[in-house]
Each structure stands twice: as C-alpha cells, then as structure tokens.
Structure 1
Amino acid sequence: MHYARLGSSGLKVSRLALGCMSYGEPGRGTHPWSLPEEESLPFIAQALDLGINFFDTANVYSLGTSEEFLGRAIRKLTRREDVVIATKVYERMTTSSLSGGLSRSAIMRELDASLRRLDTEYVDLYIIHRWDHETPVEETMEALHDVVRAGKVRYIGASSMHTWQFVKAQYIADLHGWTRFVSMQNHYNLVNREEEREMLPYCRAEGVGVTPWSPLARGRLTRDWDAASPRTAGDPVQERFYGPTEQADRAVARVVAEIAAERGLPMAQVALAWVLHQPAVTAPVVGATKPHHLEDAAAALDIVLDATELARLEAPYTPHAVVEYV
C-alpha cells in the first residue's frame, strides 16, 4: 500500500479509501443493494489486510447502519488509533423539519449520533456532504470549528459543491481564524472530468487533499457498458450522472477496454490508475462488493501509464453539463 498526507495536513492516509456506502441494512434508506453486516465484514478485513487505513462512510448511508457496521468491524479487527474514519453530515435522517442541513443544531446533533453509532470518541475527518443553501456559511464554519476544538473531530472536509462555494467557506474560516477544510470529496473519473476546470487547480494551489467518489463511474468503467448489476438496477443516480452523455462516455470506456486488453489487465485497474495519476488526487474512494474489487484497486497503485496511454484515455472526452448536487 502507498500512503500520502491528506493535502497539506499532517494526516497520513492510504492512497485508497474504502467507501462504506455498500455496507448497511438493505431495507434502510435508499440503497437496497447494500450488504448486510455478515457480508460486509470480510471486505473491511480485506481492506485492512491490504494496508488500507482510510474508511469513508456517512450518517445517511442505510440510515446510520453503515456507521454501525464500520464501528463494530473496526473494534473487532484492529485498533481505533490505527485507522482514519471519515463520516458526513447534511442529509435528512428523519422526516422531522429539524432533520438535515448544516445548522449549528444539526451539526452538533448529528455528530453526536454518528459518534454513538461508530462507538468512538472522535471522527478523524468530518465532511459536509453537500452545500446548505438555507444556513449562513458562517454558522456552519463556526460550528465545525467548535467540534474540532471540543476534540470530537480531528479534521474537516467538504464534498460536491461549486468551487466558488468552497472558496467562500475557506475564506470565512480564514477571516475568523476558524478551522479550514483539508479535503474535497468530489465526483471525478474518466467520464466526468469537469472538476479539472476550477476545483482541482484550486485544491492543488491551497494544499487541499482530493478524495474522489465514484472513480470508476459506478462500475461503468469496469465492464461492458451494457452489462447489468444489482447496483445499476437499483441506483437511480446513474441516469442523472451518465444518461445524458452516454454515447460520449461509451467512447471513453472503449479506450479503457482497449488499453486493458493490450496490457492484459482488468478495465478497473486501468481506469483507477488514470485517477491515481492525477496530481491533485490523494485517495480515491473505492467501493467493494466482490473480493476482486479491492484486489484490482490495490494493483492499480503500481500501474504506470505512459504519456501515449494517458492521451488516448483522455482524447474521447466530451464536456458534460453541470449536475447540481442537491
């Protein structure tokens, strides 16, 4: 396993993060394809065996049961101080009008709930899942600073927003001497590269670590484009992200398949190796529901793509319309 500092922070993480959205009670929340606890545990164990120390979840994943599964697995398999746990806040957890968002009240309430589910005294990286259009950013940033000062959170991060929003939040933190974000978890892969316009250059300039989600385009870059899976059948987000650009995205996937065939490698290794080659990227968040998923991800760390291969992979890309993350 390879390790790196998360941006300019002192936090050292594996260059792969295991995304735990696939682990949780299938009947809870919006992920019917998630794995129950007894099926989830082997993947967390496999990640640890591979040297992965970075685990990413969220309060909303399977309505808290993902956090519960991860917390129990960490207690069973390793020492808390040897892993980096990231979780998120923003999405609604109940139908109450007070649920969701990034108000001071919501952050304090949801962080304490996440700590209980994870059975830990602190979260290494606390991420705002989305931008809250209804709460002043000053209120959010002060609350995040306070939970860091209280020792409940070590570092804070953000996810999926416009660059101007991220810059504004960092500016507010600087203006008041509050804690800055050290990471950005954004949508970035070979078939969606819009973050290269502003967000990735900003993160590099400011020393912000980048931990892309969906680095394999929800599996689209790992197999024949028309192949179905339980995930694709039960994931309505797929159409929103990739439906409007399907023909252009297919062209990119064909090149991934060509280079994979030439090298005698799985497509997943080639597509993930491209993400890992990007200088702004610290640690892609990879999902795993089959043993070879993590094996392919770890193998991608050692793949060196030459300039010709990189150019071939990037040539078919067509600009995508901005997708609002709400």
Structure 2
Amino acid sequence: MQYTRLGQSGLKVSRLCLGTMNMGSKSWKPWIFDETESEPIIGHALDNGVNFIDLADFYSAGAGEEVVCNVLRKLAKRDELVITTKLGYQIGAGANNGGHSRKHVFDALHGSLTRMKTDYVDIYMLHYFDTETPIEETMEAMNDIVRAGKARYIGVSTMFTWQFAKILAVCEKHGWAKPINMQLQLNAAYREEEREMLPFCMDQGVGVSVFSPLARGILSSDMNSVRNKTDFFTAEMYNDATSRDVAMSVARVAEARGLSPAQIAQAWVLRKPEVSSMLVGADTRAQFDSALAALTTELDADEVYEIERNYTPCDVINDYTAGKRIPRAPRPAAGRFALEAVA
C-alpha cells in the first residue's frame, strides 16, 4: 500500500480508501451487504494496508456506520484508522433532520458517534453545500466540533468550486478549522472537476479523495450488476453515447494490456497528481485487488490518448443539477429553428 499526506495536513492516509456505501442494510437498497457479507471485504482491505475508511450517516439510513464499525472493532485498532463520515442528507422524520444547521450538525454527529461506538471521527464531512443555511453558521459549528475533540479534521464533498471558495474564505476570516479534504466524483467518463475544482484544491493545499472511479460500473464493462439495474443514478449520469464510447476505449486498452477494464480505469484516476486517495467500493476481494494493482499500473501516452479521445464536456454532476442534466448528445432544433430545419 502507498500512503500520502492529505493536502497540507499532517494526516497520512492510504491511497486506496474503502468506500462503504454498499454495506449496511438490505432494507435500504437490494445491493447492500449485511455485516456478515461485509466483514471479508473489510478484512481484505485492512490486510492490504488500507487505513482510510469512508462512511456517511445517509448510507443505509445509519445502519452502514453501525455495520462497518462493528467489523472494524473486531479487526483493527481505532488509533490506526482514519475514519470519515458525512452529514447532510435527510435520514429521519422532522424538519431539522437534514441540512447543515448548527442543530443538525451536532445532532448528526451525536448519532454517528453513537452508532459507530467511538468518541471521535477523524474527518467529519459536509455531504454537499447547504444553500439554505448561512455558511457562517455551519462552519462555526464544524469548528466547535473540532475544538471539542469530537472530530480531528473536517472535510467537504460534491459542490461547485465557488461554494468551496466561500467555505474557505469564511474559515480564514474567523480563524476556524479549514477543510483538509474534498471528496468528488472523477473518472474517465466524467472529468468536469478538472476545470476548476482540482486546480483550486491543489492551490489551496486541500487533499482530494475520488469516488466512482469506474463511473458506477460502466468502465468495468459491467452494466448488468444488481446495483446498476436498480440504481437510477447510473442511468442519469452515464446513459449517453460519450460514456459508452469512453468505456469502449478503456476496454480496448485493457485488452491490449491483458488487464481488466476496471484496473485500467482506476489506473487512469490514480495517475493524476491531484488525487490523494481513491475510494474503492468493492463487492469482492477480486474487485479490491484490481484497485490495488492499479496503484502500480503505468499508462503510456498512447493509452492515455485512447482513453481520453472520446471525452466531451457535460453538465456538472452534483445535488444542484440532479434531474436537470442534459445528455451529451445533439438535441433537436426547437422553436423557429425547428421550423426552418423542416423547410
């Protein structure tokens, strides 16, 4: 395993981070692993040097934190792990059981620590940018959590660059703890974060952890998994010709190398200097081993060109564009231009 400092902090994390959205309760999603099914995967990751574990209170409506940490207590020492969890999405009834208000920040952390059976979380992360709560209120609450010792660091996830800049500015103004990690989506079929967010994080000394390196499975040439058949997000994000063309290029490079498409797609992510750590949401030991091998898989210029040549810009993927994204394909003429096309 390779380790790196997360941004300009002193925190050292494994370059592979165990993603755990697939662990918790099957009552939440049909593709979720229960505790018994999760333990071999978690154990395999730990045996191969992973110390970075990604959680969220939203996963399995809290059951994910409980299941994963039950296993971690059996297999690992708490002080050797870097555990992160996220807050923000609604996980219960009540008008204040979501978002980033001061009330919910404290209530959500209390709930997470209770389920995890730990006194602190290493990185407490905002799952998105809450446009309904003043950012000063949110970041003061996050700072208070750090000062109270309930979180060692804070982080953020999935937002526009200007929103992240606003967070850093308010923290700088008040002398509050700043985020050390930005968690974002990046893969060969979705590269919009290369425009602003990645350079901004590099400039500000913020670590970057990447999720969905396989574009929710399409870059592994597997669209028939239970998850992809039941998860509408896959269709919304990657159901376009460009994504399929990128997937074919990844498969072409993989075939020429005698490797799996997943390993090639993950190697493409890990080669980027801005990426501190890549999340691996493995369903099997073999899937984790693919990511492990990708750490030392070099891609030459011809291979990179083949992987990247079909990419075209698209709408940013985040909570603010959900359900509104325009597919990467020519759209029919409309209005008076449609009439002109017919004529």
Normalised by the shorter chain, which TM-score bucket? Answer: over 0.9
Deviation of 1:277 after TM superposition, in Å, equals 0.6
Q: Deviations over 1:166-219 (max 9, x none)?
A: 000000000000011111111111000000110000011111111111111011
1:310 aligned onto 2:304: yes
Task: Give me the CA root mean square deviation.
Answer: 1.0
Aligned residue number for residue 21 of structure 1? 21
Q: Would you say how many aligned residue pairs link Structure 1 and Structure 2?
A: 320
Alignment of 1:229 with 2:225, yes or no, is yes
Of 228, 236, 239, which residue of structure 1 is paired with 2:235? Answer: 239
CA contact (8 A) 2:35 2:71 kept: no
Are 1:56 and 2:72 an aligned pair?
no
Q: Secondary structure at the match of 2:18?
A: strand
Distance 1:249 1:242 in 2: 6
Please give the secondary structure, in 2, of the residue aligned with 1:228.
coil
The answer for the alignment partner of 2:245 in structure 1 is 251
Q: Hey, what does 1:188 align to over in structure 2?
A: 186
- Cα shift readout 1:235-258 (whole Å, capped 9, x = no counterpart): 111122112xx1111111111111
Partner of 1:298, secondary structure, is: helix
Q: What CA distance in whole angstroms lies between the structure 1 residues aligned with 2:27 and 2:244?
A: 33
2: distance between equivalents of 1:15 and 1:155?
A: 18
Of 191, 200, 203, the residue aligned with 1:202 is 200
Distance 1:89 1:324 in 2: 16
Residue of structure 1 in register with 2:35 after alignment:
37
% identical aligned pairs? 47
In 1: Cα distance, 2:76 partner to 2:167 partner = 35
- Give me the whole-angstrom Cα distance separating, in 1, the residues matched to 2:227 and 2:260: 19
Displacement of 1:71 in angstroms is 1.2
State the Cα deviation string for residues 31-60 of structure 1 (Å, max 9, x = none): 321011100111110000111111101001
Larger Rg: 2
Partner of 1:4: 4
1:81 — aligned with what? Answer: 79
SS at match of 2:185: coil
Q: Give the aligned residue type for 1:35.
A: F
- The one-letter amino acid paired with 1:33 is W
Pairwise CA distance, 1:63: 0.8
Q: What's the CA shift string for 1:93-150, capped at 9, x where partnerless?
A: 1121111000110000000110111111110111100111110000000000000000
1:228-307 alignment, distance < 5 Å: 228-243=224-239, 246-307=240-301
Higher RCO (CA 8 Å, separation ≥ 6 residues): 1
Residues 75-107 of structure 1: per-residue CA shift (max 9 Å, x gap)? 100100011101000011112111100011000
Conserved 8 A contact 2:23-2:64: yes
In 2, the alpha carbon distance for the partners of 1:81 and 1:323 equals 35
**Distance in 2 of aligned mates of 1:204 and 1:192:** 19
Partner residue of 1:323? 317
**What TM-score does the superposition give when structure 2 sets the normalisation length?**
0.92
* Distance (whole Å) between structure 2 residues aligned to residue 174 and residue 60 of structure 1: 29
Q: Which residue of 1 aligns with 2:334?
A: none
Cα distance in structure 2, aligned partners of 1:154 and 1:269: 33
Shift of residue 323, structure 1, vs aligned partner: 3.2
CA distance in 2, matches of 1:311, 1:171: 37
Alpha-carbon separation, structure 1, partners of 2:254 and 2:316: 29
Are the aligned partners of 2:13 and 2:82 in contact in 1 as well (CA < 8 Å)? Answer: yes
Secondary structure of 1:211's match?
strand
Matched, 1:112 2:106: no
What letter is aligned with 1:311?
Answer: Y
Runs of 4+ in 1 over 6 A off after TM superposition: none
Q: TM-score under structure 1 normalisation?
A: 0.96
Which ranges of structure 2 fall in alignment gaps of 5 or more residues? Answer: 321-343
Separation in 1, partners of 2:115, 2:318:
30
**Distance in 2 separating the partners of 1:319 and 1:256:** 18
Q: Compute the displacement of 1:322 (Å).
A: 2.5
